[in-house]
């Protein structure tokens, strides 16, 4: 799932070297955190969130193949934790290191 998100994100952003994907696995869930450069957040989210919703749909469909629920968190590199596209969300300090693109 991480590789799928990396491929999609690289196709959309202007500064792919600043992107990171962090995968947080649960028993039947996986949360994919996508960190992109401040300038690329709009390209990932899209007008009215349409691109972000499309990416979430693709990840959910891919997760169904393995019987897991996938979700996407888009995190702006220029903002502190807890200010991603979902209010109140903050990465947990015990997460494993993030993979770079």
CB 39 within 8 A of CB 89: no
Residue 6 lies in a domain: yes
Residue 27 lies in a domain: yes
Residue 43 lies in a domain: yes
* pTM of this prediction exceeds 0.75: no
Neighbours of 48 (CB within 10 A): 8
Look at residue 85 and tell me whether its pLDDT is greater than 70. no
Report the domain count for the chain: 1
Q: Which structural domain, as residue segments, surrounds residue 50?
A: 2-87
CATH number at residue 62: 3.30.300.20
Question: What is the DSSP track for 65-101?
Answer: HHT-EEEEEEEETTS-TT-SSSTT----TTSPPPEE-
Residue 99 lies in a domain: no
> What confidence tens digit (pLDDT) does each residue in 32-71 have?
999 998 899 999 999 999 999 999 999 999 999 989 999 9
Q: Identify the band that residue 19 occupies on the pLDDT scale cut at 50, 70 and 90.
A: confident
Residue in the structure block whose two tokens are 């390209």: 43
Neighbours of 93 (CB within 10 A): 6
CB 77 within 8 A of CB 18: yes
């Amino acid at each position: 799932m991480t590789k799928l998100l990396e491929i999609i994100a690289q196709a959309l952003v202007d500064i792919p070297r600043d992107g990171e994907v962090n995968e947080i696995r649960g028993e039947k869930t996986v949360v994919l955190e996508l960190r992109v450069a401040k300038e690329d957040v709009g390209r990932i989210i899209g007008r009215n969130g349409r691109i972000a919703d499309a990416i979430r749909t693709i990840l959910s469909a891919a997760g169904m193949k393995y019987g897991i629920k996938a979700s996407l968190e888009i995190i702006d590199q220029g903002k502190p934790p807890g200010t991603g596209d979902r209010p109140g969300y903050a990465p947990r300090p015990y997460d494993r290191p993030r993979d770079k693109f």
